[in-house]
Structure 1
Amino acid sequence: MATPNPLTHTPQLILSLATLADIPPITALWYTCFSNPLWDKLFPTTPALYAWWNAANSDDLLHKASQVYLKVTDESAEGKGKIVGYAKWGFWEGGEERMLEDRLPGWAAESDAGLCDVFFGALARERRRVLGESPRGHVYLDMLCTLPEYRKLGVARLLIEWGCEKADAQGKEAYVDATEAGKPVYMKFGFEPQKPMAMELDGQQMTITSFLRPAKKQL
């Protein structure tokens, strides 16, 4: 990924709930954040895949009250309300019937379905290993994206703090899976790294680590 140009203004960052109208720019933001040869096989940069993501996220917003989308916008005169970061938080009750593998719809025709099954299946198995075969209730940070030029300005902090505060209020653990690059960020918010999971996908080696934030004891 090319080095982004530094901002020439001071952003005014505002956190709010995302709406259906925000889904297309959120999809575009996802592709900005997740761009490498492996992701290009899982979710090619094509109109069909953009439509797939738009439909999947819209279905979450319309039909799954447990899935919450947040956005951070830059409300400065220069930012003009642009979405510069987003997160998807899932609020899971213990013993849900819905399988962890089904958090995304059936793969698009242009995706490498085999690779998708391997990757997301491994994440689901690791989540069960950490949280139990019939996973206990927890709060799951499903997606987190920040525009490159807005990183290290507090966007991720707003998105992560919101979910951690909700987890504390509910007395639940918070969970996220991430690459090594995300480790310092999540540990700053009290997430504890679990056993790293090494995998090979399409000839590429990668390591994913699950992070668990202990539940806050309720008084």
Structure 2
Amino acid sequence: MATVTPLPHTPKLSLAKATLADMPEITALWYTCFSSPLFDKLFPPTPAVHAWWNAANADDLLNKPSQVYLKVSDVSAEGQGRIVGYAKWGFWEGGEERMLEDRMPAWAEESDGGLCDGFFGALADERRRNLGDPPRGHAYLDMLCTMPEYRKLGVARLLIEWGCEKADALGKEAYVDATDAGKPVYMKFGFEQQKPLVLELDGDSVTCTSFMRPAKKQL
């Protein structure tokens, strides 16, 4: 793992909903957080696939009211307002207003479509196994990214806390697919680890673990 240079300044973090204008910066942040041999096959870091991500996120923002994009910006003088973390939360009513496989649009031409189907299909199956078929209503933390030099500074906490508070207000369980690296922060918010899912994809072994946070009873 590459060494991350500590920030030379004290950040001033600001949480807000993302806008269409933020999508290119969010796409670039996604590639910073999810760079690996497997993800480079799923979503090659090319201009065409960057454009695909921009369009996919814009479609969610404009046409799926249940999907919420959040951003954390460093609004200090040194940070200059750049986005240092983002999350995508989905609030599902149950019965599937959209099928889980419709989480993404048709894959980009430069992506490995078969590999994408295998990876995201397995995550959808796991979600059904944990939440029923069709899954009952829940809050789904679809994406969470923090710029490496801003990790452990409260960025993820702001993004997760917002969704958990909304899930509590709605009386919904919260759900996320994650790697072991995310386990400490999710468990801090009351998520409970489920059985790990080991995927063998194109010669790569990937472990994804689902975490579920019980619904809070409403008075």
TM-score of the aligned structures, taking structure 2 as reference length: 0.99
Cα deviation digits, residues 24-68 of structure 1 (max 9, x gap): 000000000000111000000000000000000001111111000
Distance 2:40 2:94 in 1: 34
Equivalent in the alignment of 2:12: 12
Corresponding residue for residue 198 of structure 1: 198
Task: State the SS of the aligned residue for 1:211.
Answer: strand
* 2:122 counterpart residue number: 122
Give the partner amino acid of 2:27: T
How far is the alpha carbon of 1:201 from its aligned partner? Answer: 1.1
What's 1:90 paired with?
Answer: 90
- Structure 2: runs of 5 or more not aligned: none
Q: Does 1:170 align with 2:162?
A: no
The Cα shift of 1:97 comes to: 4.1
Following superposition of structure 1 onto structure 2, how do residues 9-88 of structure 1 map, counting pairs within 5 Å? Answer: 9-88=9-88
Cα distance in 2, alignment partners of residues 2 and 166 from structure 1? 35
Match status 1:155 vs 2:155: yes
- Whole-angstrom CA distance in 2 between matches of 1:180 and 1:85: 19
Q: Which runs of 5+ in 1 are unaligned?
A: none
**Partner of 1:105 in structure 2?**
105
Q: 1:4: how far off?
A: 2.1
Q: CA deviation at 1:185?
A: 1.2
How far does residue 21 in structure 1 lie from its aligned partner after superposition? Answer: 0.5
2:136 & 2:83 partners in 1: Cα distance? 33
Report whether the alignment pairs 1:137 with 2:141. no
Structure 1 counterpart SS, 2:84 = strand
Q: Deviations over 1:78-130 (max 9, x none)?
A: 00000000000000001124110111001001001111010000000000000
Equivalent position SS for 2:136: coil
Q: Hey, what's the Cα distance between the residues in 1 that align with 2:152 and 2:7? A: 12
Q: How many residues align structurally?
A: 219
**TM-superposed deviation, 1:5:** 1.5
Q: Cα RMSD between the aligned structures? A: 0.7
Q: Following the alignment from structure 2 to structure 1, what is the Cα–Cα distance between the partners of residues 199 and 61?
A: 32
Q: Distance in 2 between matches of 1:115 and 1:156?
A: 29
Counterpart AA for 1:78: E
For residues 64 and 204 of structure 2, what CA distance do their matches in structure 1 show? 34
**SS of 2:35 mapped into structure 1:** coil
